Structure formats: C-alpha cells, structure tokens
Amino acid sequence: MSMVMIAALLLQIFFRYVVGHALTGSEEVALLMFAWVTLLLAGVGVRDGLHVRLTVGLALLPSALRRGIEHLLMLGICAFAVFLMIGGWSYVAETRGQVSAAMSYPIEILHVSAFVCGALILLQAMGWLVRDLCSIEQPRSETPQ
C-alpha cells in the first residue's frame, strides 16, 4: 500500500510539472492508501507497545501497582477502540452511497478504515490483556514429590 501511495504521488508530481497536466485520480489514491496504512499500523502499534505513554512515573511504582495501572491504561485503549468502531461505522452509514469526486469509487472504502482500525486496536489490546493476565504465576503446591 505504501508503494502504491508513493507511486501515485510521484506520478502526480511528474504529470503536473513535467507533462503540464495534473492527473485527476492520483491524489485520491494517495489519500486512500495513506488512510489505510496509517490506521492499520495503529493496531500494530498497540500490539508492539508503541502507543504514546510516559513510563517515568510507572517505573518508580511497585510492580503490582504498575501492572494494575498498565491494565487500566489498556482498558482505556479498549474503550477508545470501541468508540472508534462505533464512530467509524456511523460515519460509513452516513456516507453510504456516496462516491469519491475524481475516481468515483464508493467512499465507504475510505471511511470503513476507521472501523477496521478500531477493531484491530481492540483485538490487540484484548490480546495483550489476556496474555498478561495468563502470565501471572500460579501458586505452587506445597506437597512434596
């Protein structure tokens, strides 16, 4: 997708400044690819822990309290993801049937990216919570073997 976006922008520059005639659809292709790449990478960012956060204060806390706060923060990310899904789907419903100005593709292709982004963020955040909660060490039995 990134390569398509870059190619569309380079073609637009070439046609505008070398040929002298601007392409009509290259900007829309670049915008569509940019939206999808950016929003798909948001889920990857949550998976890899690349979301913006300050760890200075957390590093000073005891591990149990730090872990609890990290769980609360991840639940907040889940809430944001649900909000993004609801808002994204609502926006798709409001713009259903419209087409893009230059290329006349269904505009839902662009707008559904927000819903998909929210769903991916929610899946990644819930996966993180489940993995972290399952990694809590279980107490060992005291029976001799």
pLDDT digits over 18-57, tens only?
Answer: 999 888 889 899 999 999 999 999 999 998 888 777 778 8
Q: Which residue has the higher pLDDT, 116 or 57?
A: 116
Whether residue 60 lies inside any domain: the answer is: yes
- Quick one: average pLDDT of 67-76? 93
Q: Are 32 and 61 in contact (CB under 8 A)?
A: no
43 lies in some domain? yes
What predicted TM-score, i.e. pTM, was given to this entire model?
0.82
Instruction: Report the pLDDT averaged over residues 10-21.
Output: 92
The candidate with the shortest Cα–Cα distance to 31, out of 103, 117, 93, is: 103
What are the Cα distances from residue 45, in Å, to 72, 125, 137?
A: 18, 10, 27
Q: What is the pLDDT of residue 71?
A: 94
Which segment of 27-31, 34-38, 90-94, 140-144 scores lowest on mean pLDDT?
Answer: 140-144
Residue 17 lies in a domain: no
Check residue 6 and give its pLDDT: 92
Structural domain for 40, as ranges: 35-134
Residue 110 lies in a domain: yes
